[in-house]
Amino acid sequence: MKKINNFLRELGAYVMLIREAFKRPQNNRVFFRRMIFEMKALGIDSIVIVLIISIFVGAAIVIQLLLNINGPMYPDWVYGFAARKAIVLELAPTIISLILAGKCASRITSEIGTQKITEQIDALEVMGVNTASYLILPKIVACLLFFPLLMVMSVFSALIGGLIGALPMGIITYFDYVEGMRLDFGTGEIVYAMVKATINALIISSIACYRGYTLKGGSVEVGQESTKAIVQSSIVIMVFNILVTSLFN
């Protein structure tokens, strides 16, 4: 019962903080400048790791397909088709979001948490600044704008990685792989992936901001809250992954 009460209390505090954060910025120019900075820190700086992981995972997916469903009963295009389905529907929006949860959630929590324990947030509030909107909203908006772009980059790099993994095995040709990727492709898959990526961006950024903003203690607690942000974001991402999958099917 105590755990349920603590969960409900934290959920209420989280909702109230995010509602406060989404109030209109007091200075649009400052907000825009901070949003651009956060897009670089949280989005652009994540491009390399997203591309590297996507290429290798895409290659691994196609290699496993070739090794496990190789046979005369399967057309050669089936590998590209199955790879596209797996990459667009699950790898790019979900797996990459878990990677970003580890990278971005820890950064957001530690940054805001450090500002909290060094009383920088208190100083801003004394100056009449809406600290929730000033610190949190630019991070959330930056994630909402850039994470779907990272998802698109992940799709392309994973499909290229799949091609890199497939060709040396000599089982299928470049044209067979591309034919499978293009077969029965519709905008519904991209919409589905974009919805997932947007929801995951909101989950990662908002939970990380909440954990940092409500932090109490010192440097040890910063590390603990960063870990909590990663774990909680990952769990919520998987829960919403099931919900969104059920709604779209």
CA dihedral of residues 142, 147, 153, 157 (deg, nearest 10): 130
User: What size, in residues, is the chain?
Assistant: 249
104 by Cβ neighbours in 10 Å (0-12 / 13-18 / 19+) ranks as buried
Given this model, what pLDDT does residue 27 score? 83
Nearest-angstrom CA–CA distance, 119 and 115: 6
Q: What are phi and psi of 29, to 5 degrees?
A: -65, -45
User: Among residues 229, 235, 239, 232, which one has the least CA distance to residue 208?
Assistant: 229
Return the structure tokens found at 204: 């990662």
Q: What is the pLDDT of residue 249?
A: 67
Q: Give 2's DSSP letter.
A: H
- The pLDDT of residue 174 is 84
Instruction: Determine the Cα–Cα distance for residues 125 and 129; give it in Å rounded to an integer.
Output: 5
Is the CB of residue 138 less than 8 Å from the CB of residue 32? Answer: no
For the full predicted model, state whether its pTM sits above 0.85. yes
Q: Which of 213, 204, 234, 235 is nearest to 13 (CA)?
A: 213
Type of residue numbered 81:
F
pLDDT along the chain (249 residues), means of 10: 78 89 86 92 91 92 84 79 88 89 91 89 85 91 93 92 85 84 82 91 94 86 89 93 85
Whether residue 98 contacts residue 201, with contact meaning beta carbons closer than 8 Å, is answered with: no
Q: What is the predicted pLDDT for the residue at 112? A: 92
